[in-house]
Structure 1
Amino acid sequence: MRKTTHLIFASLFFIANLSVLPALAHDDLQRRAISTNGFGEVKVKPNMAVINLSVRAHHQSGKAAKQDVDDRVNNFLAVLKKIGIREKDIVASSLRVSPRYEHYSGSRQFKGYEATRTLTVTLYELSDLTDVMDKALENRLEGIDQISYDHSEADKYQAQAHQLAIENSKTKARALAAAYDTALGPVITINYHHRNPVYGGMKAEMSDSVAAVAMSRSQPGTYIADELVFSDSIQVSFDLIVSE
């Protein structure tokens, strides 16, 4: 008798659940919601720069080629120290020495060795930019390969852009809800993908030749950097509350 009673209750519970499921599915299909995209942007002038430099030397022996580039780099580092550039703001650890060949009529002839060194100098005063490039050329570091601009408080400005994106998504959602005589309910979903800062609406890195054309607008030897753009976006879905 007890077993029969348990079976009856289990059957009733199963039937009750079956009757509720269509109602829940119907509620999901009829759920009122609104999705908005929020966007935030902060523009600031950069206050620091990173210069990528290179030096090459060609000699018959690899040792001579290496010594040549080492001497030039050492002289340049000494000059940087004199003008107040800190050692921790300089990276000069790379070296490459490789043989050179020239090809003639299907054969190749050995033409010595080429040594290459690269350096990265971070400047926290943009006024030092022209002087450092001039010193590099004076010390026969002919490759000014890239100039990148940044800001020492980049994290702060990125956080500001993020907060603006959040507020923008709320403002849009409230305006749309009010336009349709509804009110915002709880958040349903949030989709977020971090965005990197952009230099003047473009990638923050550019070669020195492009930089010279794009930024030198006042007089020779003066470099005027464009703005850094910190932007962020977020997509949010809200429940809508409808007054019956």
Structure 2
Amino acid sequence: MSMQQSQTMVVTGTGSVTGKPDLVTIQLGITTHAEQLADAQAENTKRSQSVVSRLSTLGVQENDIQTSSYTVSPQYDYIDGQQRFRDYEVHHQLRVTSRTVSNIGEIIDAAVLSGATEVSSIQFGIEQITDLYEHALSKAVENAKAHAQALALAAEVVLNHVPVTIQESLQSDAGPFAVQMGKMAASPRIEPGTLEIGATVTVTYSYR
């Protein structure tokens, strides 16, 4: 909070609500190696198709499985200061969205058994988040108003309760968390819990 000019004050308000996730996004990687590029690509295609096919049997829709990156790079060894070609590496990154949060562990397990070599992140979300965010935004405005009233009372001035300006800050999403492939001896138990949806506003009030 800060005082701005002689007749206005600027306050910041925050608000938050919680919601239960109803979708989850997973980043899967399929990496293959071969001395011949065509062989590395063919093996990668085979594994990728196997992963997609297996996930479809678990209810993941085809349009919810998208390629996020596809890279091909030669790999080299350095022996006695000399660079020697080893093989080609093909890496296919898939972005998978499931609207059945409860079976996330089964999806990961199935993907790994079908050929995925990496699970880089898992991110839970709420598909219809607008109403929750607007509720948090309303709380943020009320919070800013309470700050302004407290300032006006302390300064013994009369607050104009109609804001001069209200500026909304950008909404932040819940961040992903990493899953270590080496620890997946069985289907991982992953609890989505609840997500916090936050809002922040900057409000300018006038006073006399």
TM interval, short-chain normalised? 0.7 to 0.9
* Deviation digits for residues 187-224 of structure 1 (CA, Å, limit 9, x no counterpart): 33444422313x3xxxx1121139x8xxxxxx973211
1:130 aligns with 2:105: yes
| Residues 112 and 181 (structure 1), Cα distance of their counterparts in 2 relative to 1, 3 Å cut | closer
* 2-structure distance, mates of 1:235, 1:122: 35
Kept in 2: contact 1:62–1:98 (CA 8 A): no
**Aligned equivalent of 1:184:** 159
* 2-structure distance, mates of 1:122, 1:220: 18
Choose which of 178, 189, 208 in structure 2 pairs with 1:222: 189
- Of Structure 1 and Structure 2, the greater helix share is in 1
Q: Higher mean Cα deviation, 146-155 or 180-189?
A: 180-189
Q: Name the structure, 1 or 2, with higher relative contact order (CA <8 Å, separation 6+).
A: 2
Give the alignment of 1:164-203 within 5 angstroms: 164-178=139-153, 181-185=156-160, 186-197=162-173, 199=174
SS of residue paired to 1:133: helix
Post-superposition offset of 1:235: 2.2
Post-superposition offset of 1:52: 0.3
| Residues 93 and 50 (structure 1), Cα distance of their counterparts in 2 relative to 1, 3 Å cut | closer
Aligned letter for 1:147? I
**Aligned equivalent of 1:206:** 177
Choose which of 13, 31, 43 in structure 2 pairs with 1:68: 43
Determine which structure has more spread, i.e. the larger CA radius of gyration.
1
Aligned letter for 1:158? Y
Aligned letter for 2:195? L
SS of residue paired to 1:83: coil
* 2-structure distance, mates of 1:168, 1:95: 47
Give the alignment of 1:21-170 within 5 angstroms: 31-92=6-67, 94-170=69-145
Gaps in structure 2 of 5+ consecutive residues: none
Post-superposition offset of 1:226: 4.2
Post-superposition offset of 1:93: 6.4
SS of residue paired to 2:107: helix
* 1-structure distance, mates of 2:43, 2:178: 25
Superposition CA RMSD, Å: 2.4
Please, what TM-score do these two structures have when normalized by structure 1? Answer: 0.73
| Residues 152 and 144 (structure 1), Cα distance of their counterparts in 2 relative to 1, 3 Å cut | same
* 2-structure distance, mates of 1:225, 1:164: 25
Paired residues in the alignment total 200
Kept in 1: contact 2:106–2:187 (CA 8 A): no
Gaps in structure 1 of 5+ consecutive residues: 1-28, 213-218
Q: Give me the identity figure in percent.
A: 23
| Residues 220 and 74 (structure 1), Cα distance of their counterparts in 2 relative to 1, 3 Å cut | closer
Kept in 1: contact 2:76–2:87 (CA 8 A): yes
